[in-house]
Chain A
């Protein structure tokens, strides 16, 4: 079946602008995660959604970052007033809503460049 999809694949923006990144999880996966991959920082957890529960936002680096998930499926990560240090690849993952052992499957990512 279809995997996790993300759009756009690449985004170039100017400092100070807002950006929205989209993630479509695998059908039937109610758990959804956002991670950020940047040079020198590796992969960092940002936020986690599980069904209708309140999201775990503990990884969001500042209040300029926010995410929502509509209808328990598609998720949008929004970065307001972008800064150059926000440049990174943003990865989305999804997993089944069962035990903690379920594997996270990743999308291809969105490469964000802030000029």
Chain B
């Protein structure tokens, strides 16, 4: 079975400071990992994904994430937060060996960037 944990329900960061949103995962095989963002009353918007290759993945809006196999983590990062980054962030995993195309999502982390 595949699972995702986002240990923080909420993260607060001052505008201009670096931000990190944490994600750890559990799969039986190798993972495909995704980050999505959800703005109020909107659907999920794709940010970035890790499939293979470089452990550091760059995505939309200046976000990046680092895949760490030994720690089974895929934390989302941004060097300098903007107020407009305030939203709900979801980490998701798909187990390559599971034979299923469904994504398993974490509970989400609410990011608040304070002006």
For B90, list chain A residues within 8 Å (CB): 43
Tell whether A104 pairs with B103 under 8 Å between CB atoms, given A4-B43, A91-B44, A109-B43.
yes
Q: Which one of B11-19, B67-75, B77-85, B94-102 is at the A interface?
A: B94-102
A105 touches B46 (CB 8 A): yes
Q: Interface digits, A7-49 against B, CB 8 Å rule (1 contact, 0 not)? A: 0000000000000000000000001010100000011010010
Interface residue tally of chain B, by bracket?
A: 20 to 34
A100 touching B44 in the complex, CB below 8 Å, given contacts A42-B106, A42-B107, A42-B108: no
- Nearest chain A residue, comparing its CB with the CB of B32: A101
Closest to B42 in A: A108
List residues of chain B with CB under 8 Å of any chain A CB: 32, 34, 36, 41-46, 49, 51, 90, 92, 94, 96, 100-108
28 sample A-B contacts, Cβ–Cβ < 8 Å, listed by A number: A6-B43, A31-B101, A42-B105, A42-B106, A42-B108, A43-B44, A43-B103, A43-B105, A43-B108, A45-B102, A48-B100, A48-B102, A58-B100, A93-B44, A95-B101, A100-B32, A100-B94, A100-B96, A101-B32, A101-B49, A103-B34, A103-B46, A105-B46, A106-B43, A106-B44, A106-B46, A108-B42, A108-B43
